Amino acid sequence: MKRIGIITSGGDAPGMNACIRSIAKYCLNNKIDPVGYFDGFDGIIDGRSIDLCFSDVDNIVQKGGTILGTARCEEFKTKEGRSKAISTLKGNNIDALICIGGDGTFTGANILSSEMDIPVIGVPGTIDNDIAGTDYTIGYDTALNTVIEAVDKIRDTAGSHHRIFFVEVMGRNAGFIALNSAIASGAETVLIPEELTDIDAIVLDLKEQSKGRRSSIVIVAEGDDGGGAKEIMDKVSPLMQRYSLRCSILGHIQRGGSPSAFDRILAGRMGAFAVEQLQNGVYNVMVGIKGGRLITCSIEDGIRLNSSPDLSKLELLRNLRTLG
């Protein structure tokens, strides 16, 4: 193992830099050259890369985003695109590739590994936490904390004006951020893709809860079957004409910011662990953390099994409401 390629791909997530740093430093301290490719699979196809040295990755552990850049690369979904990528990797004498990203990145990495003899390893980096092969993905904890901070502020104004706020958070397919931020921010209701949304039941519940409090917060995952926060509010509005309703879409602030301690430590551990696996001849797997311990599992298994939050927390939320 002489040269290891690294990409960050898909949506950016806080802690990706801490992971790049960990991989690069672990490599350099073990006489391996770390090569960073810019903008995910795009950079491999185009041959845009940097031979990383210590100074490139110093002072980035605290930075959000990714110094390598990321992209959603359509060309990589074609056989021709992947052939170009393989030529680049071979031309650059890359012995293994580490892909930091979400389930899409892992799907691409898995297909690539089946088409070439260069080992591949996936490190879960996405704010969505929707990869079954790990309890936590890099970036999720920071995003959750960002949401909580924002909802705390919204609650201040909601309380002052006696309003019901529908707050939209990220989560196209999974309700991890929505459900856990709802519990942590003391929200009254949460709508997630894993549970069918019943508008009449929401209205009834909000009316009941409004008897005992000045304001309410409804957290809505962007991928909820009933629609986003604006759509839900528009459906609820005619049934609650005497109430003051507002919606707030948190959007891309959820991706940014300095990573939390949890994400920095997770990224540091996973990055070094990935290189260690390659040194030990373990590859074409993803790394993950289960019950606090670093593990590997096949990429296929890691993304095939459905990943959903602990739905018993819905019952917890219902029992934490203020009624009557």
Least Cβ distance, residue 322 to ligand ATP (angstroms): 35
Residue type for 292, please? G
Q: Does 102 bind ligand ATP (CB under 6 A)?
A: yes
Q: Does 14 bind ligand ATP (CB under 6 A)?
A: no
Report the residue number whose CB is nearest to ligand ATP.
104
Structure tokens that stand for 252 in this block: 């891309």
Report CA-CA distances (Å) from 17 to 68, 109, 199, 296.
Answer: 8, 20, 41, 21
How many other C-beta atoms can be found within 10 angstroms of the C-beta atom of residue 56? 17
Q: Which of 5, 11, 124, 171 binds ligand ATP (CB under 6 A)?
A: 11
Alpha helix locations (H) across 162-257?
176-185, 199-210, 229-236
Active-site entry in 33, 103, 128, 130: 128
Least Cβ distance, residue 48 to ligand ATP (angstroms): 15
Least Cβ distance, residue 249 to ligand ATP (angstroms): 18
Q: Does 101 bind ligand ATP (CB under 6 A)?
A: yes
Report CA-CA distances (Å) from 150 to 103, 182, 251.
Answer: 27, 12, 11
Distance CA 319, CA 234 (A): 27
Q: Does 142 bind ligand ATP (CB under 6 A)?
A: no
Least Cβ distance, residue 302 to ligand ATP (angstroms): 12
Cα angle: 102, vertex 227, 312; to 5 degrees? 65
Question: Could you tell me where the beta strands, DSSP code E, fall in the chain?
Answer: 3-8, 33-37, 49-51, 96-101, 120-124, 163-169, 189-191, 216-221, 244-249, 285-290, 293-298
How many other C-beta atoms can be found within 10 angstroms of the C-beta atom of residue 307? 20
Q: Does 84 bind ligand ATP (CB under 6 A)?
A: no
Least Cβ distance, residue 35 to ligand ATP (angstroms): 19
**How many residues make contact with ligand ATP (CB under 6 A)?**
18
Enumerate residues 197-226 that contact ligand ATP by CB under 6 A: none
What three-state secondary structure class fits 79? helix
**Whether residue 128 lies in the annotated active site:** yes
Q: Does 43 bind ligand ATP (CB under 6 A)?
A: no
Q: Which of 108, 119, 268, 288 binds ligand ATP (CB under 6 A)?
A: 108
Q: Which of 8, 14, 96, 128 binds ligand ATP (CB under 6 A)?
A: 128
Q: Which of 4, 7, 9, 147 binds ligand ATP (CB under 6 A)?
A: 9
Q: Does 258 bind ligand ATP (CB under 6 A)?
A: no
Enumerate residues 164-183 that contact ligand ATP by CB under 6 A: none
Q: Is beta strand 3-8 parallel, antiparallel or unpaired with respect to 120-124?
A: unpaired
End-to-end, the C-alpha distance of the chain in Å comes to 65
Q: Does 77 bind ligand ATP (CB under 6 A)?
A: yes
Q: Does 124 bind ligand ATP (CB under 6 A)?
A: no
How many other C-beta atoms can be found within 10 angstroms of the C-beta atom of residue 30? 12
Structure tokens that stand for 5 in this block: 């390629």
Q: Does 277 bind ligand ATP (CB under 6 A)?
A: no
Q: Give catalytic residue positions.
A: 128
Binding site for ligand ATP (CB under 6 A): 9-11, 41, 72-73, 76-77, 101-105, 107-108, 111, 126, 128
